[in-house]
Chains A and B, each alone.
Chain A
């Protein structure tokens, strides 16, 4: 082999290696970005699942609270305790244990948590127990050390005495939205998301599956079918915000009373999800071998019977997989819901399909606008909850695919 040829070969092999490394770097980059994204969210979220709590002893043994135990079982229990002076008792105990400066930093309305505890366990009414009440937003910021320098001596003193600490906040998963980061919770948004998804599923799944059955099994190749096919393919690629404009102009035009309602949100998302379901359902139907249809027709089944008794059940795992993936996309969707007014501040979890609500991604968007550092952590915590839901849904889809999908 002559020298220049060997040299050229060496160069070519070097180029080959470089190309391979570039490819590996591209894949690695995606992996690193994902890892970085998840890491930065999780790092912030750890703080978001906690809140700063002031801990002190509450002594009710002297019988300062005189409440009829029967009243504690009624719906007005909190009012009864308020009437008996519970807020003042809590404030007094806080002042004695934490000092006046510390007591001033107990969150307003924190006595309600004490009240809820007493309602659950009326024995406490004449007992002595330790309460952990949320600190104010300012004191929480001072404890983290990122704002309110003037409160930091107080925060470190209380922390040293073991009276101020940040503790896991179960309430984050059970409260609604609020104005301060110490009081917020995601249950309201989560419930809104669940209601919205229920509407989406109830509308998009039957319509999508039936449309797919028509296109795949009955329509043949006529002009109508072609038009339907083209519009489904186009709808699958239309930006989601356009569906929001449709929802605003049509649904809210028809039902102006249901602004911000899960019903309208679900209808809008259903239009967006339906094409995804149609496309995956068609693929699942296509995968069922023709011999199944031939066999059913041969023993005398009608075409409708063939499809609904044999083909559709066999295609169901594939259809469900596609549906779950479409629903996961709808669950993470934000823009169209902003258009139809689901961005309003809603403090109480929605009671039904027509009461004002917000959804988890919109809640994340709303919190991300807040400046308070506490909200950064809460936002990240909400993102982690959303990602866990999506992970669970995608995991279920993968499980269904592996467990039930037949290879013919």
Chain B
């Protein structure tokens, strides 16, 4: 059954309620005006009141039902006598069930004779539950609509009631952000704790060898294969060192040139160009790094006599990441320099300093807190970047300072562990959540501190 049908049904009930209630309110208004009085609220609000009562509970039920009914259907099918012939567990069983289900909904072809027997139970069960779903949706909608409709009266305070519901909606919408934050924390925490039951936090945070094997029997894993230090080092080396060596000078100089030297026409053309650079998807940068930059860097490495230069190098990923971050650093530096009071600049110029002396000796020192905060935000963005390192940095965890070798990062390993072959309960898979937790906490701290610094810095000049 498509979940769209009950939802559309609920909305149709809402529309009917809206039309009926508005008509009723018009009638009430005629009666009231005949007696030299008037409605408390405009007829439209009566309409919305009934429409919300008719549609909202029914829609919520329809959505919940759409989410819950597949599991109910499955349970009913498994209880049917035909299901006793299924293998007890494993991929075979899932495949047969999936095939029977797609056959029952009218698609696919039968490969497995066992699935044919299950088509009828599937059809019966999904028909049964979709009938229940539609019936309850209708009932809820009608009950809500009728309840609301019977309350309509000339002095009914429909507007304040509708506005209260709107306010409820607004609060609910803004709570989504909090739910999301807690959802992230809770899901990461839950899986991380499960991981720490197998591998102790000390082994994870302080170990220097990373080599989880998702195929090893979970009871026989060796905790010393789960040392994440090489990953942390790779992440810091690529995201916070190489990328920043590229991005900070280029971003700062671009911002200085565009705000202090460039003519308005040039600025008008160059700023969108930087914005385009910021808008290129990371997968494109990753492809660029892997296809174009990495071979160049490998050849350069060989040319200067580094035999170990690899075609997947930390340098390639870091440089391209730095290029990606340039617009970000530039716009942060731009904001901070613009926040320095004009009087300081004028004072320096009036004393006879050249423009560059003013920038280097007055503007940058005065804007330094803002610039540092901007760099912290840039670092937090760089270490959370995934696609560039997945495509260009390599999979080997290595503790080395040689930028021409391949190196792996936290984000790369999260992708590798979760898209691999391992089962969801295996410590290797769970380690991805622990890595995600570390990444989340580090970026959160960086952002929090940076935003504090920016706020303090703004206040200093206001």
Which residues of A line the B interface, CB within 8 A? 12-13, 15-16, 19-20, 22-27, 29-31, 33-34, 36-37, 40-41, 206-208, 210-211, 213-215, 218-219, 227-228, 231-235, 237-243, 245-246, 248-250, 254-255, 257, 271, 274-275, 278, 302, 304, 308, 328-329, 331-335, 338-339, 343, 352, 361-362, 364-365, 368, 376, 379-380, 383, 386-387, 390, 394
Closest chain B residue, CB of each to CB of A363: B283
Given contact pairs A218-B167, A233-B447, A365-B286, A302 touches B254 in the complex (Cβ within 8 A): no
Contact A254 B433 (CB under 8 A): no
Given contact pairs A26-B249, A41-B284, A304-B167, A376 touches B291 in the complex (Cβ within 8 A): yes
Complex CA gap A215/B329 in Å reads: 29
Given contact pairs A231-B178, A274-B176, A237 touches B443 in the complex (Cβ within 8 A): yes
Contact A386 B436 (CB under 8 A): no
Closest chain B residue, CB of each to CB of A33: B323
A332 touches which of B282, B381, B451 (Cβ 8 Å): B282
Given contact pairs A211-B176, A237-B443, A249-B433, A31 touches B163 in the complex (Cβ within 8 A): no
Contact A364 B284 (CB under 8 A): yes
Complex CA gap A214/B380 in Å reads: 29
Contact A238 B444 (CB under 8 A): yes
Please indicate the chain B residues that have their CB under 8 angstroms from the CB of A379 in the complex. 287
**Minimum Cβ distance to chain A for residue B315 (Å):** 16
13 further A-B contacts with Cβ under 8 Å, apart from A30-B250, A227-B178, A241-B436, are: A19-B356, A30-B277, A30-B323, A206-B173, A231-B178, A237-B377, A238-B384, A238-B444, A245-B184, A249-B433, A271-B180, A304-B163, A304-B166
Closest chain B residue, CB of each to CB of A18: B356
**Minimum Cβ distance to chain B for residue A393 (Å):** 9
Q: Which of B416-450 contact A (CB under 8 A)?
A: 418-419, 432-433, 436, 439-440, 443-444, 447-448
B287 touches which of A227, A338, A339, A364 (Cβ 8 Å): A364
Whether B109 sits at the interface, judged by CB under 8 Å, is: no
Whether B231 sits at the interface, judged by CB under 8 Å, is: no
Q: Which of B10-43 contact A (CB under 8 A)?
A: none
Contact A245 B188 (CB under 8 A): yes
Whether B270 sits at the interface, judged by CB under 8 Å, is: yes
**Minimum Cβ distance to chain B for residue A377 (Å):** 11
Could you list 16 examples of A-B contacts with CB < 8 Å?
Answer: A20-B356, A23-B254, A24-B261, A41-B288, A211-B177, A214-B173, A238-B384, A241-B414, A331-B281, A332-B281, A335-B411, A335-B415, A364-B283, A368-B291, A390-B279, A390-B280
Whether B84 sits at the interface, judged by CB under 8 Å, is: no
Size of the B side of the interface (Cβ < 8 Å), in residues, is 88
Contact B286 A245 (CB under 8 A): no
**Minimum Cβ distance to chain B for residue A201 (Å):** 15
Complex CA gap A215/B287 in Å reads: 40
Contact flags B149-179 to A (C-beta < 8 A → 1, else 0): 0000000000100010011011101111110
Contact A387 B177 (CB under 8 A): no
Q: Which of B304-335 contact A (CB under 8 A)?
A: 323, 326-327
Complex CA gap A22/B291 in Å reads: 29
Complex CA gap A254/B354 in Å reads: 64
**Minimum Cβ distance to chain A for residue B108 (Å):** 11
**Minimum Cβ distance to chain B for residue A297 (Å):** 14
Please indicate the chain A residues that have their CB under 8 angstroms from the CB of B277 in the complex. 30, 33-34
Complex CA gap A208/B433 in Å reads: 28
Complex CA gap A328/B284 in Å reads: 14
Contact B176 A207 (CB under 8 A): yes
Contact flags B55-74 to A (C-beta < 8 A → 1, else 0): 00000000000010010000
Whether B243 sits at the interface, judged by CB under 8 Å, is: no
**Minimum Cβ distance to chain B for residue A298 (Å):** 18
**Minimum Cβ distance to chain A for residue B188 (Å):** 6
Please indicate the chain B residues that have their CB under 8 angstroms from the CB of A19 in the complex. 356, 359-360
Complex CA gap A213/B170 in Å reads: 7
Complex CA gap A362/B183 in Å reads: 25
**Minimum Cβ distance to chain A for residue B67 (Å):** 6
Given contact pairs A249-B433, A339-B418, A275 touches B187 in the complex (Cβ within 8 A): no
Please indicate the chain B residues that have their CB under 8 angstroms from the CB of A15 in the complex. 354, 356-357
Contact B257 A246 (CB under 8 A): no
A-B pairs with beta carbons under 8 A, tally: 241
Complex CA gap A403/B383 in Å reads: 38
Contact B173 A27 (CB under 8 A): no
Please indicate the chain A residues that have their CB under 8 angstroms from the CB of B176 in the complex. 207, 211, 274
Closest chain A residue, CB of each to CB of B185: A246
Whether B191 sits at the interface, judged by CB under 8 Å, is: yes
B177 touches which of A248, A275, A386 (Cβ 8 Å): A275
Contact A245 B354 (CB under 8 A): no
Please indicate the chain A residues that have their CB under 8 angstroms from the CB of B181 in the complex. 231, 234-235
Please indicate the chain A residues that have their CB under 8 angstroms from the CB of B384 in the complex. 238-242
Which residues of B line the A interface, CB within 8 A? 2, 67, 70, 159, 163, 166-167, 169-171, 173-178, 180-181, 183-184, 187-188, 190-191, 249-254, 256-258, 260-262, 270, 273-277, 279-284, 286-288, 290-292, 323, 326-327, 354-357, 359-360, 377, 380-381, 383-387, 390-391, 411, 414-415, 418-419, 432-433, 436, 439-440, 443-444, 447-448, 451
Contact A390 B281 (CB under 8 A): yes
Contact B451 A233 (CB under 8 A): yes
**Minimum Cβ distance to chain B for residue A323 (Å):** 15
Contact B253 A239 (CB under 8 A): no
Contact A235 B180 (CB under 8 A): yes
Contact B254 A40 (CB under 8 A): no
Please indicate the chain B residues that have their CB under 8 angstroms from the CB of A334 in the complex. 281-283, 386-387
Q: Output the residue of B181, B287, B357, B447 with the most chain A CB within 10 A.
A: B287
Complex CA gap A275/B174 in Å reads: 10
A37 touches which of B67, B167, B258, B288 (Cβ 8 Å): B288
Please indicate the chain B residues that have their CB under 8 angstroms from the CB of A215 in the complex. 174
**Minimum Cβ distance to chain A for residue B318 (Å):** 14
Contact A231 B439 (CB under 8 A): no
Ranked 10 nearest A-B pairs via Cβ: A239-B384, A332-B281, A23-B257, A26-B253, A210-B173, A249-B187, A19-B356, A335-B386, A214-B170, A211-B174
Contact A237 B380 (CB under 8 A): yes
Contact A31 B273 (CB under 8 A): yes
**Minimum Cβ distance to chain A for residue B264 (Å):** 15
Please indicate the chain A residues that have their CB under 8 angstroms from the CB of B391 in the complex. 365, 368
A218 touches which of B170, B191, B380 (Cβ 8 Å): B170
Contact B261 A211 (CB under 8 A): no
Closest chain B residue, CB of each to CB of A35: B273
Q: Output the residue of B274, B386, B447 with the most chain A CB within 10 A.
A: B386
Given contact pairs A13-B354, A211-B177, A339-B415, A302 touches B433 in the complex (Cβ within 8 A): no
Contact B180 A361 (CB under 8 A): no
Please indicate the chain B residues that have their CB under 8 angstroms from the CB of A364 in the complex. 283-284, 287
Contact A302 B163 (CB under 8 A): yes
Q: Output the residue of A37, A271, A302 with the most chain B CB within 10 A.
A: A37
Closest chain A residue, CB of each to CB of B447: A237
Complex CA gap A328/B276 in Å reads: 12
Please indicate the chain B residues that have their CB under 8 angstroms from the CB of A250 in the complex. 183, 187
**Minimum Cβ distance to chain B for residue A197 (Å):** 14
B443 touches which of A30, A213, A238 (Cβ 8 Å): A238
